[in-house]
Amino acid sequence: MKLKPSDRHPRDARLTRVIGAGDYWLETMAAGEHLRIVDLEGNQSADVLFYSAADPAERYSVVDTLRANGNVFLALGSKLMSTEDRVMLEITADLVGRHDTLGGACASESNTVRYDLEKRTMHACRDSWLLAIAEHEGLGLTKRDLTHNVNFFMNVPITLDGQLAFADGLSGPGRYVELLARMDLIVLLSNCPQLNNPCNAYNPTPIEVSLWSA
């Protein structure tokens, strides 16, 4: 896995926010801006959706992204593609080395299927996204727009028989991924509250996000 630090300094960021475990972050970013997501304490997972700010019907597509990169994992140099087969973002710096595209976001339904009926009422990433779009109606997003997402820092290896396994993360305290926007975007992030698998070391922790102007 190839790692590369960023040459951007935190003091030059136009925006920096700490996102608590289980909270969401919703923001717009312009083409040419850089987004950094920092795993502050290590072994956390950030579930992120990307939309074209000009037309949110154009959004991140896992199918087109896997085809374009020839890999089921995202890493340094990976391009995130849209449903219109356009480049939305590119990973320009990375201190983790691999990010999940297949595990999806936790929801009450998946918590029930994967774990137990009593887990259904536990907070999940989809709950955070639903709250975000309800509190930001002006962006025009609905629950129909909650589709493919990227799980930054999450480690979901593929077994020899083609199954997905949830394993301890590859990240660590202070490690980050940084992306360059290739179009104007809406970014919707859930700092995953999952307590039932190792993606958060069974202990969800805060992450930090920063934006640098073009």
Q: Is residue 7 part of a domain?
A: no
Query: Is residue 30 included in any domain, yes or no?
Result: yes
User: Model confidence at 91, in pLDDT bands (50, 70, 90)?
Assistant: very high
- Mean pLDDT taken over the chain: 88
pLDDT at 5 over 80: yes
Q: How many domains does the chain have?
A: 1
Examine residue 3 and state whether it is found in any structural domain, yes or no: no
pLDDT digits (tens, 9 = 90+) for 21-50: 999 999 999 999 999 999 999 989 999 999
Mean pLDDT value of segment 172-194 = 94
Is 14 part of any domain?
no
pLDDT at 125: 85
Residue 143 has pLDDT above 60, yes or no: yes
Q: How confident is the model at residue 167 (pLDDT cuts 50, 70, 90)?
A: low
Distance CA 180, CA 61 (A): 17
Q: Output the pLDDT for position 186.
A: 98
Residue 17 lies in a domain: no
Instruction: List the domain range (segments joined by +) for residue 65.
Output: 22-212
The answer for residues whose C-beta is within 8 angstroms of residue 118's C-beta and 6 or more apart is none
Tell me whether residue 2 is in a domain: no
* 13 in any annotated domain: no
- String of DSSP letters for the chain: ---B-----GGG-SEEEEE-TT-EEEEEE-TT-EEEEEESSSS--EEEEEEESS-TTSBB-HHHHHHHHTSSEE-TT-EEEBTTS-EEEEEEEESS--EESSS----HHHHHHHT-GGGTTS--HHHHHHHHHHH-GGG---GGG----EEET-B-PBPTTS-B--B--S--TTEEEEEEESS-EEEEEEE----SSGGGTTS---EEEEEE--
Give the C-alpha separation, 86 to 64, whole Å. 9
Question: pLDDT class for 155, splitting at 50, 70, 90?
Answer: confident
The pLDDT-based confidence of 117 (bands split at 50, 70, 90) is very low
Cβ atoms within 10 Å of 201's Cβ, excluding its own: 15
Token pair 């219109």 in the structure block, residue: 84
Whether residue 15 is contained in a domain is answered as no
Q: Does the pLDDT value for residue 111 go beyond 70?
A: no
Residues written for the chain: 214
